[in-house]
Each structure stands twice: as structure tokens, then as C-alpha cells.
Amino acid sequence: MKFYIKTFGCRVNQIESESVAEELIKCGIYYDEKNFDILIINSCCVTEKTEKEIIKYIKKSLDLKPFIQIIVTGCFATVFKEKIEEISKNIKIFSNSNKSDIIKTLTGKETNRLFRIEGFKSRTRAFVKVQDGCDLRCSYCIVPIARNEMISKPLSNAVEEINNLVLKGYKEIVLSGTRLGAYDDEGKRLNHLLKKIADIKGNFRIRLSSLEPMEINEELCEICSDSSRFCSYFHIPLQSGSDEVLKKMRRPYNINFFSNKLDLIRKKIKDVGIYSDVIVGFPGESEKDFLNSVNFIKQAELSGLHVFTYSKRPKTESFYMEDLGYEVKKKRSQIMHDLDKELRKNFGLKMIGKNIDSVVIREKKGVFWALTSNFLEVSLKNKAEVNARADVTITDFKNGIVYGEL
């Protein structure tokens, strides 16, 4: 038998897919991207667009390979099982909570190692999932419905997994979770985990994935100020720079609180890159609210944005709010994407002349690229060794590209 996994959505999904693949390969099932008998689709349902892409992909796969076995898991399978069943009754569906049963169904073997990874194929960076689930219940978000159980990987298991990846030569390891800051192993919180990771021997660094602003504290910033072990990088969801919109979103902070967290981080960590998520076109977002968002983001001097156009999702509170309409959302999305380019340019220019800890992540057409601690992708002027960790001097920024040299 041969299998292929198609993954939609977030980093957590990608880690889970990698873990499933590792377990199936160990059981003697081969991975093949073209000639497969089993198709596993790890799905997402955060936006309506992604949902449509998944449905289209399932139907196309059935048309091209009508006799293959199809398994759908992930958030879309958890929340909208009936929509998959409408396509075909022969598709096997596994919710997030019983995703580990995929291994038993295909091989007959039990596993308690799922969502632990030993490495990432063809990658210089490894991703470790240490937490799952969210209970914030933001008015726009379907994730707490799809992943409503708060689970944290035992601290000793997480440390062991990271140590094994370090021994395999990975220079950067990204700690991930649906809500990473909610990590809690019987009272041992994220800061405790980070301290234990810092004690692991080896030449590696840790990058934290997204952290909610209310889960960032002085102790965490103090721990992350160790530039030899932790990346000078934070990704903090803002979602809106308007207090009125934040209230409607049921986000548990205001822009003043968010600003104070930025000040705390910058006070502790040199040349830090701070990136954020922002949603445009949320129901009830007035022109004034949107301009407040733009102005706040400019004043905050963020390093870059991930821009999301509001997507109405069933089973969420905002689903019943009046939508702003396509044209308004499209216009605001373009403005925010332009602002993202401006922020990345400003941050890149600000780093010229700096020597920054970096990992060489790939070579393409004779050009080597490195990822800095503060999340700049740098085109290197000289040759390098992929997966090498070294200081890179930023020399220029042109046409959206950061240039540097070892």
C-alpha cells in the first residue's frame, strides 16, 4: 500500500500530518505523492475559502482516482462532517479527537506516539506541537468548536522530543500549539517548559509560534532574552487596532494593553521582530475603526502582518452579524497588505549593518537563503552550507528582498 497526505491550514495541522506519515511509514506503508492507494486529507475550516478548496479537492480526487481509499480528518471533518458525507458515503471521517485512530484503521496497530515527530522531510527547521485546543471563544473564530479540548504534551516528553531533534542536527525548532501560551502540564506552564528546553545541550535555537498578548509576561521575555537559545521573534495576534472592534470580537484586551506588551518585549529583547495577525472587514467595522487600526499598527512599528479578510463562519457568534460586503473588505484588505509591505521594508532597512544570528535554510539557483532570529529571509551574497548556523550581516534591502553576507 501507498499513501499521500494533503494538508490544509495551520502549522499544527502540518505537524500532525508529519506525525501520521511517520507512523504509517514505520508500519510498512510507503509514502508516494502520485501513485497512492490511500489519500488522507488533513482539513481546515477557518475560512469559507479554505472549506471550498477542500470540497473541490475531494471531488477532484474522486474523479481522478475513483477506487482509492479517502480519509478526511482535521477541523473541517470535526465541525462539518455532514458536508463530507454529502460528497460520498465511502469517505472515512476522523475528527480531531480520534485522529490517532487512523493508524489503527490502516495498520491494525495501536500507537501512543502520535503528534510526536522525529524530523521533517527536506527541511532544516523542525516543528514540535506541545499544546492543542483553545477556549477563548472569540466571536469570529470556529477553532474552539473544532479543537475544544485543552491538551498539553507532558513536559518531559516535549523536552525529550526536542533533544532528539537537536541530536539529529536541527538548528531551529519551532514550538507550536493551537494556543501555545495556554501550555499547562499539571501546573507547569510555558515558562517552566522554556527553562527546561534552555538547559538542553547543543547548537540550536527555539522559535515560539503565536502567543496571545495576555499570555506574555516579564518572566517569559526575560527567558527569551537569551539570544543564544531563543529567537528574537514574537508573533502576537492583534486582530484589530480599534477598541470598539476588539470588544465585538470578544478579544480579552484593548490597544493600550497590547502596546504595553510591545514595550515590555522591546525593553528586554534586542532587535526583536514582532509580527501580528489582523482581520479586516469585521462586521460593524466602520471607516473610523479601520483607520484607527491602520494608525495604531503604524505607531506600533510592527515588523510585518498576516492579513485576513473576515470570513463568516457558521456556529460562531459573528455569523449572525451584518456583513460589510465584498467591495469594502477587498479595499481594506489591499490597504492593509500595502501596509504590511511598508512595515517589512522599514524593518529590513532598520536592520542594515546589524549582525544577526541566522540559519541557512535553502539553496535555490545557486543563491543561499538564511532565516534570521528576528524572521527576515536573507539572500546571501556568498556561498554557505544549508543548515549552518551563523551570524549574518544585513547589507541592503531592495525590491522587497533583504540582502546579507556571512
Q: What is the pLDDT of residues 105-132, one digit of tens each?
A: 999 987 765 577 776 665 789 999 999 9
- Report residue 394 as a C-alpha cell: 544585513
123/102 Cα distance (integer angstroms):
25
What pLDDT score does 11 carry? 85
Strand partners, 256: none
Q: How confident is the model at residue 244 (pLDDT cuts 50, 70, 90)?
A: very high
Sheet holding 205-208, edge to edge: 151-152, 125-132, 172-177, 205-208
Cβ neighbours of residue 320 closer than 8 Å, sequence gap 6 or more: none
Q: What is the DSSP string of 325-375?
A: -HHHHHHHHHHHHHHHHHHHHHHHHHTTT-EEEEEEEEEETTEEEEEETTS
304 DSSP β-pair partners: 275
Pairing assessment for the beta strands 273-280 and 233-235 based on DSSP bridges: parallel
Nearest to 306 by CA among 51, 11, 7: 11
Structural domains of the chain, ranges and CATH numbers in brackets: 2-107 (3.40.50.12160), 123-231 (3.30.750.210), 235-350 (3.30.750.200), 355-405 (2.40.50.140)
Between CA 406 and CA 399 the distance in angstroms is 21
3-state SS track over 17-83:
HHHHHHHHHHCCCEECCCCCCEEEEEECCCCHHHHHHHHHHHHHHHHHCCCCEEEEEEHHHHHCHHH
Higher pLDDT, 268 or 110: 268
* Residue 160 confidence (pLDDT) above 70: yes
Reported pTM: 0.93
Give 331-364 pLDDT, tens digit per residue.
999 999 999 999 999 999 999 999 999 999 999 9
CA–CA dist 233, 207 (Å, integer): 7
In terms of Cβ atoms closer than 10 Å to its own Cβ (0-12, 13-18, 19+), residue 230 is: buried
The kind and range of the H/E element at 264 are helix 255-268
Nearest-angstrom CA–CA distance, 19 and 130:
13
Q: At what angle do helices 287-300 and 255-268 cross, to 10 degrees?
A: 10
Kindly give the interhelix angle for 155-167 and 190-198, rounded to the nearest 10 degrees: 30
240 grid coordinates:
484589530
Over range 2-15, report the average pLDDT.
92
Residue percentage of the chain with pLDDT more than 90: 90
